[in-house]
Amino acid sequence: MKKLKLAILLILTLVLVLLVVQNTASVQAHFLGFTTEMSLVVLLFLTGAIGFVSGLVLGFLLKSKRSKSVKQQQEVQ
């Protein structure tokens, strides 16, 4: 099992290194009237991180809302 985890980690690391090496070009990003120039790999990382955090927050909010709804239904019964 340890060898499988190590192999997966090595493959993911290789994919990450290839992603960074192949996407070093500078690009312009436009968002809500703002324009900035940055490395493509930085832009990819930022959009991925923002998406990940947004998913966590949305999941937390939905779970919180659902648990409140279940508590209210239990109190009614």
Domain ranges of the chain: 21-69
How many CA atoms within 13 Å lie on the side-chain side of 62? 6
Give the tens place of pLDDT for each residue, 25-49.
Answer: 898 988 898 898 998 888 888 888 9
Q: Is the pLDDT of residue 70 over 70?
A: no
* Residue 29: strand pairing partners: 36
Distances (CA, A) of 71 to 14, 42, 57, 66, 76: 47, 43, 21, 9, 9
* Helix/strand/coil (H/E/C) assignment for every residue in 28-40: EEEECCEEEEEEH
Q: Binning pLDDT at 50, 70 and 90, where does residue 76 land?
A: low
Q: What are phi and psi of 23, to 5 degrees?
A: -125, 50
Tell me the average pLDDT of the chain. 84
